[in-house]
A and B are shown apart, each in its own frame.
Chain A
Amino acid sequence: MNEYAELLNHELSRADVRTLAAALRAGDLSSFELTQHFLKRIEQQQSRLNTFITIDVEGALAAAKSADIKIRNGEAQPLTGIPWVCKDVFCTSGLRTTCGSRMLSGFVAPYESTATSRIRASGAVMLGKTNMDEFAMGSSNENSFFGPVANPWDLSRVPGGSSGGSAAAVAAGQAPLATGTDTGGSIRQPASFCGVVGLKPTYGRVSRYGMIAFASSLDQGGVFARSVEDCSTLFATMAGFDPLDSTSAAREDDWLDALRNGVPPSSPSPLRLGMPRQYFNGLRGDAEECLEAARKTLESLGHTVTEVDLPHSRPAIPAYYVISGAEASANLSRFDGVRYGRRAEDAVDLRTLYVQSRTDGFGTEVKRRILTGTYALSVGYYEAYYQKAQRIRRLIQQDFLTAFADVDVLLAPTTPGPAFRREELTHDPVAMYQQDIYTTPVSLAGLPAMTLPCGFIEGLPYGMQLIAPHFREDLLLSLGVHFQQSTDWHRQTADAAVLS
């Protein structure tokens, strides 16, 4: 590759959506060329990063062609012709959806999830389905039947999970945009580890229809991008009420419509920020330094910062693992080898068919969670585990509501530290679950939160978490844009030695 081509490759791979869309409309670049560029990059990096489970070359090029026609006809929307990648948890009609599991390694859904059908309708070009922890259960992307994903910043480290493939793909410049899902931190934690922006919307904001369920009361679709502004367009495109999901919120906010039309989030008037005291007790020093620097930046931008209390944070992790396990144990019962999915051959009777199909089809972590959840729902344990966890959940929700009486947005860490090494925590599930200490309370409360890069620890990116009241993603986006206007953490790239 000559120097100019390399520069072009780099620039295209790192360009923001607004720049790419302008180039497409001006005719400087076609969506077809852009799509080919990213597909080539993905193919070159796949053996090292393993970000994809399915690369849809044919579908992507066909979508790019029709996007080019739309653009030529002056019918382009903000995302028309822009490539994106999709976590393999969203069902895509006619293209296999595995959820990272052997159970669904051959599953092709006959229907499309609401979120992806809205993105596709906007004219964006889907390149493929990204790798993930099996059934979205994991914090390191080491639980995928399709192998682990490498962190583009250091191939020996994990990208985080469960949306590790999506986060790593955006970090590696394989696409400007990606979808993910977040149940207990599965967007925010990999965003922190990979140095990208990750937005988990309010529970109920993005339809769950067609998103393979892990824990129904917690699962929420969201987005990854390199900038907050890029996040906002994709988020608004997939958000909104869906009659097919009874838990989707029947509300429409004017600012969502503006974002959908490509208007960038406005800069906020000065906000009151709160730093939850309990989240900083025992946080390692270098992580605290990153957040302290972010605090100073935000103050210099005119925002005020105070300390707040979230007294019931400590039991969030056990409550989260009880509730999510209980729901998962029922949600995963449908994978029985009877109608679709992996089916044991030569099963002599019904019981063997069930046991063998599920034994072969599920990985260790999935089995662990099904067993935990089944236990928590059993007679004699239901009150002690499931009901108690639900009481804790209400207390945590109350904590946040109380805090939001005094502040507009909370500033918190996303993770205890930067990306850890592969296999560093695999032997110790509980230590792995501790990764979710700052993300699960937000999930239990159903709040929107966004992680964005705010520094480096030992050469690895580290992200801060902004948390807003229900349905106030607009505050997160405005504040995030404001922060990124005066910082360049999000412009740092992982390339160099690892990716060339």
Chain B
Amino acid sequence: MSADLRGYEAVIGLEVHVQLMTASKLFSGAATAYGAAPNAQACPIDLALPGTLPVLNLEAVRMAIRFGLAINAQLNQHSTFERKNYFYPDLPKGYQISQFERPVVGAGVLTFTGANGQPLSIRITRAHLEEDAGKSVHELLPGQSGIDLNRAGTPLLEVVSEPDLRTAADAAAYFKALWLLVRSIGICDGQLQEGSMRCDANVSVRRVGQTELGVRTEIKNINSFRFVEKAIDYEIERQIDVLESSGTIIRETRLYDAERNETRTMRVKESSEDYRYFPDPDLLPLVLDENLIKAVRSSMPELPAARAVRYQSSFGLAGVVAAALADDPDLSIYFEAVLTTGADPRLAANWLINDVSARLNESGLMIDGCPVPALCLGQLICRLSDGTLSSKTAKIVFDTLWDSGGEVDAIIDAAGLRQMDDRDALRSLIGELIAANPDQVQQFRTGKTKVLGFFVGQVMQKTKGTANPKSVNELLAELLKP
């Protein structure tokens, strides 16, 4: 349900923290793997022991460059790392190393399909490298709080958009497009439930036609496409309610409570917090030399847009279908694996978009969790093309593959689903049916052609659905003729 706008429009900008999938942390050699025992992946640098120093992980820089190239951004040849100072137990140094004055990635654009199918281009202000904090653990020690620093120092790329979005649904579409992109270029694993991508939404409303912006609130730490949309919609509605009842919006940070579907005040920003940013003297300015950028450019994987164009020109897919397959890196990998069996690309695309997607949705699975291997689906489609299966029996085989696995030809044989196209046998079967059902024959011949369906059904019943429907129709037309 979208917000009741009552003559207002919303202005939305997103800040998305993308966790980069480097093997080690941004400034230390400790591992970044998810799910280790508390503090098992915290080295002296992550613990901020005195005397330790940060050393920049170049792999994270390469990933940032890859992102910059993917959104056609300006890459800053010189960028700097600053210290953002504040005290919190999960921040061991008492400051976070981030990029403030000059981010590694400058202005760029993300182009994607909006919620209503319209093409959207959202400007990205900047993307900068920074280290993640650790986390407080409250459930392990009764009456005490623990600190787990495994996540401390994990590299993040913070992607900041311009306030170009106008609806919650488009904001969710933007978040999803970003999710697809960072996975396509191999810089983030996209595991939202593990916090690999977290979104802060800046939301304000204003009267339609008004040019100045309203007071904005920031909703922190939203980590699913659905919640992005629901949280922003709630917030838009709330702000309009406040304004309509002659209240004022307070500049504040709010938290989204998914269980109650509402946002709540987290802290009020009375004045902007003073983080006392200054250049980190432990790190030299980051210099991107041409060779590094060239090397990253030459190792860039195919981007979704280019892939969609290729699907249209090489396989003759329709634009929407090509985009749907190309946008999702896992789906496109699956699709191309299906094609290695020689399966017809258009048929394969249709199966993926329709049958396979429907089953995945029902089961709450993503394509990488599909129980039917791509090569099996390819085999199935080949059997459909060569006439062994009808579209109906193909679905039976697909269901069997989904539920219990197996090999396509073996399933066809075991269930006796091989399509029957023996015209002599069909002719004699139809002859028998005509002889046994004189009334229906009479009806047909007096013009009640609807009764044809009765005969088709009878043939399918006798052949357990394996009769080639095209042959059955042709033979019935021929034999029922007066």
Contact = CB atoms under 8 A, between A and B. Distances in A.
A26 interface: no
A374 B94 CA distance: 13
B431 interface: no
Nearest to B81: A246
Interface string B87-130: 10100111100000000000000000000000000000000000
B214 interface: no
Name the interface size band of chain A: 35 or more
Nearest to A323: B281
A107 B50 contact: yes
A327 interface: yes
A182 to B, nearest CB: 16
Given A212-B51, A336-B94, A350 B89 contact: yes
B147 interface: yes
Interface stretch (B41-49, B235-243, B250-258): B41-49
B50 A91 contact: yes
A377 B85 contact: yes
Nearest to B45: A244
A246 B54 contact: yes
A306 interface: no
Nearest to A112: B51
B227 interface: no
B92 A374 contact: no
Contact of B50 (A109, A216, A329, A350): A109
Given A247-B284, A334-B92, A109 B49 contact: yes
Contacts of A335: 50
Interface in A195-253: 208-213, 215-217, 243-247
B95 A109 contact: no
Contacts of A110: 44, 49
Contacts of A377: 85, 276-278
Nearest to B93: A334
B283 interface: yes
Contacts of A402: none
B25 interface: no
A99 B51 CA distance: 11
A91 B278 contact: no
Contacts of B49: 91, 109-111, 340
Interface in B43-94: 44, 47-56, 83, 85, 87, 89, 92-94
A209 B94 contact: no
B44 A111 contact: yes
A124 interface: no
Given A110-B44, A333-B93, A217 B53 contact: no
B274 interface: yes
Given A334-B93, A386-B278, A212 B50 contact: yes
Contacts of A244: 53, 55
Contact of A330 (B50, B85, B89, B147): B85
A107 B282 CA distance: 23
Nearest to B90: A338
B44 to A, nearest CB: 6
Contacts of B94: 330, 332-334, 336
A280 interface: no
A428 B274 CA distance: 31
A214 to B, nearest CB: 11
Given A216-B281, A333-B93, A338-B89, A374 B48 contact: no
A213 B278 contact: no
Name the interface size band of chain B: 20 to 34
B51 A333 contact: no
Q: Residue among B44, B50, B92 with the most chain A CB within 10 A?
A: B50
Nearest to B27: A246
A379 B55 CA distance: 28
Contacts of B280: 216
A330 B284 contact: no
Given A327-B281, A330-B85, A374-B276, A113 B92 contact: no
B95 A379 contact: no
B53 A208 contact: yes
A354 B94 CA distance: 11
Contacts of A211: 51
A97 B50 CA distance: 10
Contacts of B55: 243-246
A246 B50 contact: no
Contact of A99 (B50, B52, B92, B274): B50
A104 interface: yes
Interface string B278-293: 1011111000000000
A328 to B, nearest CB: 11
A339 interface: yes
Contacts of B56: 246
B147 A338 contact: yes
A209 B95 contact: no
A339 B48 contact: yes
Given A333-B95, A336-B94, A377-B85, A210 B278 contact: no
Q: Residue among B51, B85, B147, B282 with the most chain A CB within 10 A?
A: B51
A234 B250 CA distance: 62
A211 B53 CA distance: 9
A415 B89 CA distance: 43
Interface string A375-419: 001110010001000000000000000000000000000000000
A124 B397 CA distance: 78
A325 B53 CA distance: 19
B440 to A, nearest CB: 86
A212 B276 CA distance: 22
A91 B51 contact: yes
B165 to A, nearest CB: 30
A326 interface: yes
Given A334-B92, A336-B94, A209 B281 contact: no
Contacts of B278: 326, 330, 377, 382, 386
A333 B87 CA distance: 8
Contacts of B283: 246-247
Nearest to B86: A333
A330 B95 contact: yes
A346 to B, nearest CB: 14
Contacts of B89: 336, 338, 350
Given A91-B49, A210-B52, A330-B85, 16 more contacts: A109-B44, A110-B49, A244-B53, A246-B54, A246-B283, A247-B283, A327-B281, A329-B85, A334-B48, A334-B93, A335-B50, A336-B87, A338-B89, A339-B48, A339-B92, A354-B87
Closest 8 CB pairs of A and B: A333-B94, A217-B281, A216-B281, A377-B276, A334-B48, A210-B51, A212-B50, A91-B51
9 contacts: A215-B281, A216-B281, A244-B55, A247-B283, A247-B284, A330-B278, A333-B87, A374-B276, A377-B278
Interface of A: 90-91, 97, 99, 104, 107, 109-111, 113, 208-213, 215-217, 243-247, 326-327, 329-330, 332-336, 338-340, 350, 354, 374, 377-379, 382, 386
